[in-house]
Amino acid sequence: MTLPTPRPDRTSLVTGASSGIGAAIARELASRGHGVTLVARRRDRLDALAGELAARHHVRAEVVACDVADPDQRARLLPELAERGLAVDVLVNDAGFTTFGPVHGAVAEDEVAMVRTNVEAVVDLCTRAVAGMVERRRGAVLNVASTAAFQPLPGQAGYAASKAFVLSYTEALRAEVHDRGVTVTALCPGPVATEFAQAAGWSDADLEGVVPRPLWVAPETVARVAVDGLDADRALVVPGAANRVLTTAARLAPHAVLLPLLARRHPALGRRAERTTRSG
């Protein structure tokens, strides 16, 4: 099974396309001739990217501004595309964000919004889109999880749990539809320089001190290996050799040993975070 061949009445719906990994995946798909539907909240950015992709790659690039954490807006996405004469052949669930810090210092509404975006939207959009793919016996789904999916992560407890959900859900979905013409891949990036840290109130500089350089992978590389992996019908894509070694180790290490270590090293926990807070 490979990526469906592009057709004028089909589209690749990419959530989180206004920035970072999602924008890079949209660029990668368009460069391979796929029409794209760009979804996020910041319409101006989507419009700019749609213009770029249509001009550079001569593909149909649609924009739908949508808060994927809002069930009503999500429910309108596929009907809106059907009205434009488009069915979804490729679904990329990329929209997501993290909070940083201990649960006891967190804002409950922020944590729930993260679960709605990272988990609820993935389940909702997969359920809505995969039914049509199975009926047509063609389709591909790329769900963006994280290397944080492979073990609990103190300092980002809700985020890592949300990505563990995405990984588990994606693997099960793949097994369900694999012999029905639909391919499903989980993408688990390690650190990628995007607006991700900034969206959580951190700078890349905050993280660069604690996250070793060999783990960082450029968004364009993540997008290329992700779309290659989807096209090659791979269950799991972890970009970067160092990340693959670390995730294997994380899966094997006993949590009783691993989690206190991770808690000590997380920049949003313990003495390191108190120093950051005190210095402003």
Ligand X SMILES: NC(=O)c1ccc[n+]([C@@H]2O[C@H](COP(=O)([O-])OP(=O)(O)OC[C@H]3O[C@@H](n4cnc5c(N)ncnc54)[C@H](OP(=O)(O)O)[C@@H]3O)[C@@H](O)[C@H]2O)c1
Where does this chain bind ligand X (CB under 6 A)? 15-22, 40-42, 67-69, 94-97, 117, 144, 146, 189, 191-192, 194-196, 199
Spot the catalytic one: 100, 150, 159, 196.
159
**Shortest Å, Cβ 243 to ligand X:** 9
Residue 28 C-beta: closest distance to ligand X, Å: 13
Shortest gap between Cβ of 192 and ligand X (angstroms)?
Answer: 4
Count the residues in the chain: 280
Give the Cα separation of 181 and 198 in Å (integer).
39
Specify the residue, 73 or 181, whose C-beta has the smaller distance to ligand X: 73
Instruction: Give the span between the Cα atoms of 171 and 145, in whole angstroms.
Output: 11
Residue type, 27: R
CB of 11 to ligand X, least distance (A): 17
Q: How far is the CB of 8 from ligand X (least distance, A)?
A: 26
**1 vs 25, which CB is nearer to ligand X?**
25
* Residues 93 and 125 sit within 8 Å (Cβ to Cβ): yes
Known catalytic residue at 159: yes
Q: Which residues are catalytic?
A: 159
